[in-house]
Amino acid sequence: MPCKFCSKPYSSAGSTLDVVKQIKSIVDHFGPQLSTEERSLLSIAYKNITNTLRNSWRIVDTLHKVQSTRKGPVHLIQRQRQRIETELIGVCKDIIRLLDRELLPAASEGEETVFYSKLKGDYCRYLAELGQKRERDRYAELSLKAYRSAYKHALATLHPLHPTRLGLALNFSVFYHDIKQSPERACHLAKSAFDDAVLSVNASDPGMDQTLRDSMAILQLLKDDIILWSGEMKD
């Protein structure tokens, strides 16, 4: 699909930052009603940026913990970890501002609202992973509120096999496991979404074939997490 702003096809050669700037330009010039492809590009661009930073942060944080046990100099590692944290926090807050000010207020009922609310829950969750206690608690609450709103809307408007509904269930259950430290609630939510999707397969119409194929990978991830978290509860 051509870009509204430049009237040319999107190019995969551009950097993720270029994609973010281009989507923001579309919002500024044409309004916040993005196409499905534009929403996907925005999500992938921010995900690529934050995944790189989160992986780097985990590596540096592990090095910091190892070095601390050896009572060696850690100031350089601390400085690098702080630099990554600052950049990651800035990116997360940037997309949350875009969602709150532009995209969510203009979102249509159904998949679009669920998609944006899920994104807000995701990036508030990332901030909750990083912050000190007060900030961590604040962003955990914002993440929970966004996920709950998205899930309530998804149950009312989206088919149980819809990839956006399943992706939301996957990330919401991860929130309960990682942030709330509750494998029981995480497993319950994941299993409920998985069972609803499986039960709806026979009732789906022929037009759901493509959706079913798109959803299979998420169903497998849900199944893997259910097995993992069930094992944790037994332990």
The model's pLDDT over 135-165, given as tens digits with 9 standing for 90+, comes to 899 999 999 999 999 999 999 999 999 999 9
CB atoms within 10 A of CB 103: 24
Helices (H) and strands (E) in the chain, counts: 9, 0
In this structure, are residues 150 and 118 in contact, taking their beta carbons and an 8 Å threshold? yes
Residue 12: strand, helix, or coil: coil
pLDDT of residue 227 exceeding 50, the answer is yes
Q: What is the pTM of this model?
A: 0.87
d(CA 68, CA 73): 8
State pLDDT tens for residues 41-75.
Answer: 999 999 999 999 999 999 998 888 787 776 666 78
d(CA 65, CA 60): 9
Residue 179: strand, helix, or coil: coil
pLDDT of residue 14 exceeding 60, the answer is no
Structure-token pair, residue 183: 């494998």
Q: What is the mean pLDDT of the chain?
A: 87
Structure-token pair, residue 182: 């509750």
Residue with tokens 């309960």: 176
Q: What pLDDT score was predicted for residue 170?
A: 97
State pLDDT tens for residues 69-127.
Answer: 766 667 888 889 899 999 999 999 999 999 999 999 999 999 999 999 999 999 999 99
Q: Name the CATH topology of 1-106.
A: Delta-Endotoxin; domain 1 (1.20.190)
